[in-house]
Chains A and B, each alone.
Chain A
Amino acid sequence: MSDVKIAVLQFPGLNCEDETLRVLDFAGLTGELVRWNEPGSRLADFAGFVVPGGFSYQDRVRAGAIASQSLLVEALVREVEGGKPVLGICNGAQILVEAGIVPGTEPGRVDVAMARNKVEGRDGYNAQWVFVRRGETAKCFFTEELDEPFPVVIGHAEGRFVSREPGFLNHMGNRENRTLYYCTPEGDEAQSYPWNPNGAMGALAGLHGLDGQALAFMPHPERAAWLWQVPEDIAGSWGERRRLAVGQPIAHAEGPGLAMIKAFNRLSKVESV
């Protein structure tokens, strides 16, 4: 077990905190829950942060909107602006976007929204496996060691990145500037459903903020952290690995989502990113 301590922030209505703690443990990290009503000063004890998925405050007003105004997020901003990494997963991603941490091009400015899913022929909540890959020029603490399209799970109703900020839109026009985007199993940018599961602009699945130490990621890496979580019929190399493992003891075999979590282990070598 590493001595790198990661705080998992909990707000009322989040529901992925336990599995997030388990995956931190699987990655060799020390995870600890910090509740919304604890003093923000507690965050100083941690090297990094995860804001997990769920439905904070029942998604009232908008997903992530109420939690993003909280004093705990204020404290999180101070820690992250000081260089510590934060990973927002699903509702956690929505909270980081609503708080202006991502993309964070101007301090605190909110440049992106997470709109309701909108794809041809369907809307509302959607849960499925997707493929994701990173843009080559996007510098993000959590994606540096991701080297191939990987399968991961989504489950959301409001996960479509949208923006009216011209500078941001222009930057996102180049696919390689996108931190993480939905793709086909072969790695081509997803053009439509089902590979782009929510209609996000530029097929954005994840967006980094500040100097790369913040990542808002709509899919759930913790639901793809073990190989046994990967469906046997999925395409690509991870599907092949899963099929080869049928009948084998794979309780501790790593899945495609773990690499993103393991990025925190680099904090044992450097004080901050």
Chain B
Amino acid sequence: MSTLSFLVRGRSVDLVAMTAFNTFKNTLGLGDEIVGLLRDDLFAIEGIDESAAETWVAACQAQQHWFNPNKHRYAAFLATDGAVACVRDDGSWPEPWLQSMVSSDRPDLESADVEDPRRAWIGVRPTTGAYAVPVVAWDREEGAGSLPGGDWPDGSLARIRGVVWTLVLRADRPEEASARAEGLVSTRARRQGLLVHPHMEGWTAWGAPLAELDPVS
């Protein structure tokens, strides 16, 4: 079975991400340590048959519950390694399962010379010595089964809604960037962490940080 994931981002400047970035950089004193901060909505459907992926994509495109083509761009990825449920009570989340892109309204992601569409999707400027650390957050009460309704091919499948924050941090090693991101995400105390409130949201690192950033198209 497979998991189909949609990443959705506004076409215009993301003022929420920009404000959070400026707060990290200026108010919380990270300065040049933080290079970028991006935010995507995540909608995932798990447990589908790989052969049904295109049907699902077509249904999502037709219903536009998750994105409005006038306001958003999206990319849909398929993981075929038997990815299991994403959000569980213990907060477990599988390794990154954005294995192959099956659909997007960004032609630049579909060109043959884009080796890693996910990195291309993030689309930060080329930077030396910085790593992109994606984390995924979700509402603890809503969790799975919270996607907007509709006439889906199979209404019984698990659906997951979350937000992917991608922190781009200067670091010597990816592990260092990952550890630093961990301290910045969750609001545990005043002026410590910003993006996720642990009393109402869960979050986890979304796999290993992406390799040192390369130029992207």
**Chain B residue with minimal CB distance to A160?**
B200
A138 within 8 A of B: no
Q: Are B190 and A112 in contact (CB under 8 A)?
A: no
Q: Are B200 and A108 in contact (CB under 8 A)?
A: no
B151 within 8 A of A: no
Once A113-B199, A113-B200, A164-B199 are accepted as A-B contacts, the answer to whether A60 and B16 lie under 8 Å apart by CB is: yes
Complex formed: what's the CA distance from A111 to B197 in Å? 10
B residues less than 8 Å from A99 (CB atoms): 190
Within 8 A of B (CB), among A60-110: 60-62, 65-66, 68-71, 74, 77, 98-100, 108-110
B122 within 8 A of A: no
Chain B: interface residue total (CB-CB under 8 A): 20
**Chain A residue with minimal CB distance to B39?**
A61
B19 within 8 A of A: yes
Within 8 A of A (CB), among B188-203: 188-192, 194-195, 197-200
Complex formed: what's the CA distance from A253 to B199 in Å? 42
B210 within 8 A of A: no
Q: Are A110 and B16 in contact (CB under 8 A)?
A: no
**Chain A residue with minimal CB distance to B14?**
A60
A175 within 8 A of B: no
Q: Are B200 and A100 in contact (CB under 8 A)?
A: no
A residues less than 8 Å from B189 (CB atoms): 100, 108-110
A58 within 8 A of B: yes
Q: Which residues of A contact B (CB under 8 A)?
A: 57-58, 60-62, 65-66, 68-71, 74, 77, 98-100, 108-113, 115, 118, 162-165
Q: Which 3 A-B pairs have the closest CB atoms?
A: A113-B199, A108-B190, A113-B200
Q: Can you spell out 19 A-B residue pairs with CB atoms less than 8 angstroms apart? A: A58-B15, A60-B16, A60-B20, A61-B195, A66-B20, A66-B23, A69-B27, A69-B28, A69-B191, A71-B27, A100-B190, A109-B189, A109-B190, A110-B188, A113-B197, A113-B199, A115-B141, A115-B200, A163-B199
Q: Which residues of B contact A (CB under 8 A)?
A: 15-16, 19-20, 23, 27-28, 141, 187-192, 194-195, 197-200
Q: Other CB < 8 Å A-B pairs besides A162-B199, A164-B198, 20 of them? A: A58-B15, A61-B16, A61-B19, A61-B20, A61-B195, A62-B197, A66-B20, A68-B190, A69-B190, A69-B191, A69-B194, A70-B27, A71-B27, A100-B190, A108-B190, A109-B189, A110-B188, A110-B189, A113-B197, A162-B200
